[in-house]
A and B are shown apart, each in its own frame.
Chain A
Amino acid sequence: MSLQVVTANRLDDGLVVFLTADGGWSENIDQSRIADGKEAGDALLAEASVPELDTVIVGPYLIEVEQQDGGLVPTKYREVLRTKGPSVRQDLGYQAG
């Protein structure tokens, strides 16, 4: 079972964001809209790639996630880092709260 969400960087400040259920963009991965399976994933990415969003976000792509402790966690370490911040500066990025 492959769960995916769409992530991108926000155009104006470059921060990591995730596509939400209502078509918005959140900094919190737990608010992502989840796509189950390849077809749903492709459709989700297509939605995130429309030209109108070119002034909102940059470079949307799909990532695999797992459900853990009531939240979503990416399966790839690189994507985990994107939800947190640099591992060597716990005082920076989303992990700094």
Chain B
Amino acid sequence: MYRYDDFDRQLVLERTEQFREQVKRRLSGDITEDQFRPLRLMNGVYLQLHAYMLRVAVPYGTLRADQLRQLGYIARRYDKGYGHFTTRQNIQYNWPKLAEIPDALLDLAKVEMHAIQTSGNCIRNTTTDQYAGAAADEIEDPRPYCELIRQWSTFHPEFTYLPRKFKIAVTGSPNDRAAVKVHDIGLRMHQNDAGEVGFEVIVGGGLGRTPFVGKTVRDFISKNDLFSYLEAILRVYNRFGRRDNKYKARIKILVHEIGVEEMQRLVEEEWAQIKDGSLRVDDAEIAHYIEQFAPPAFETLSDDDAEFERRKAENREFANWVRSNVIAHKQPGYAIANVSLKPIGGIPGDATDTQMELVADLSEQYSFGDVRVTHEQNLVLPHVKKADLFSLWAELKNANLATANLGYVTDIISCPGLDYCALATARSIPLSQRISERFSDLDRQHDIGELKIKISGCINACGHHHVGHIGILGLDKRGKEFYQITLGGDASENAEIGKIAGAGFSEAEVVDAIESLVTKYLGIRETGERFIDTYRRVGMDPFKEVLYGDR
């Protein structure tokens, strides 16, 4: 994993000092709230419904054990003993005091962490595949490039006052677990005809009020040229993105309004001017970063572990957990273990300080001190020996972290919603809890198979409902919460924006509505079809019928 050198440390410390001064000047009245707001946002400090919220960056979703442990400490020392993992692989704290935040940032700096640019009209956290460096289907580990992007985008003097926020995601696998097609820039690693690994550049994806799947602006850019190319895109956006209307200011609107060909032309024209300049990264530097993410000292093992097989045969609960939560690893004898933050009836993505500290300890014991955060609000221990999975599972189970539901109907993605968020129009968490409870039976969940439900508490879509197989959008109708269902969304390489099924449902009706959709799917699916596959085969009508047939 990337380790800070003295330059990185100095930068974060200087930023912490800078923000401490800004907070002081705010508290003393030297600067107004209007002047302070963009500054605090660029340090991840929101003002929410009940209190401030601090969003700490987890760069490309990768954590070391000491970092996760410190996140637990921060939750205890500065907050109310818990944190929330988000759909951008970050962590949020819901109750920090403004005056104490500089101290919290200093404590984060001690473990090479920060809250830089997790909000504001600047380049945000670059996210990636949670199985990077471990997945069997990976072309190349995307994280060295994520780290280079992180540095290029941090305190970029030209791109700190963009028309709107800017989000970049990278996938190193053809199975896109990073949702690159619904980001402002999505980068998909692949090989060209010459066998070189480079990036497809996809621009203008996004969710929110006007969701779009991104468009390919360039099929292949080399690793050496990636950063000058990104700079060209950002410069075009900074100059030509709309600034007249907050809801039309993302790059997706620019691409939609001028068309992808014109976007390509502008970017290529800009890029031609800068491609041979100082942003070109040479092979030696790339090699240096790849080295930072070298695989851990794996033992040479057989992929068959008799003990592991025996445990599965003897312990049904363990076998269930392996079946859903354990993923194939590229290294024989190892596996990727998903740690569910979706206990039945729980708050999706929340973890207590004790749970965070436990997972940190477990990562040291079982996963080379390596932990990941997923954009579906779970954690991952990416390098676990098959022989250790049973002991790991037993410990996770004790801490309510072993729910065997990865990708199942109760593995719900939900934004914080009106319970926490000042932007929300409806609560989302209680709905996720009711759905989770309705489908709690694990055998039933397994039978249903992969079904991604994503819930947003307002049109800003932080719950990514547009790309849920079933998406739910919480709205306000004459003072009452009501919920609109979308179907057929997909965040993968087959990205799709879901379609609205029809009129919305009350809080009392919506869980039944979801259940009727599931029942319909079970009734008409063909062998091997997931919910999304059946939907793609039969279309909206059969599902609309069960929702509204007798209305």
Contacts and interface: CB of A to CB of B under 8 A. Distances in A.
Contacts of B95: 14, 92
Interface in B237-294: none
Interface in B43-93: 47-52, 80
Interface stretch (B25-33, B196-204, B209-217, B297-305): B25-33
A81 B457 CA distance: 15
A76 B476 CA distance: 11
A86 B98 contact: no
Contacts of A62: none
A64 B49 CA distance: 17
B430 interface: yes
Chain B contact residues (Cβ within 8 angstroms of A): what range? 20 to 34
Contacts of A5: none
A86 B419 contact: yes
A82 to B, nearest CB: 6
A interface, size bucket: 20 to 34
Nearest to B480: A77
B49 A77 contact: no
Contacts of B430: 87-88
Contacts of A55: 27-29
A82 B49 contact: yes
Interface string A4-22: 0000010111111000000
Contacts of A11: 26-27, 98
Interface string A81-97: 11001111100110000
B97 interface: yes
B481 interface: yes
Contact of B98 (A13, A75, A78, A93): A13
Contact of B49 (A13, A58, A76, A78): A78
**Chain A contact residues: helix, strand, loop or mixed:** loop
A18 to B, nearest CB: 14
A54 B481 CA distance: 33
B27 A77 contact: no
A54 B479 CA distance: 31
Contacts of A86: 50, 419-420, 429
A20 to B, nearest CB: 19
A23 interface: no
B284 to A, nearest CB: 47
Contact of B50 (A58, A75, A76, A82): A82
Contacts of B50: 14-16, 81-82, 85-86, 93
Contact of A88 (B26, B28, B51, B419): B419
A12 B52 CA distance: 9
B99 A76 contact: no
A37 interface: no
Interface in A39-97: 51, 54-55, 58-59, 75-78, 81-82, 85-89, 92-93
B347 interface: yes
A23 B52 CA distance: 23
Contact of B32 (A16, A54, A76, A85): A54
Contacts of A77: 418, 479, 481
B418 A12 contact: no
15 contacts: A9-B47, A12-B27, A12-B97, A12-B99, A13-B51, A14-B95, A14-B96, A14-B97, A15-B51, A16-B49, A75-B479, A77-B481, A78-B424, A87-B419, A88-B433
Given A77-B481, A78-B424, 12 more contacts: A12-B98, A13-B98, A51-B32, A54-B32, A54-B33, A55-B27, A55-B29, A59-B47, A77-B479, A85-B50, A87-B430, A89-B347
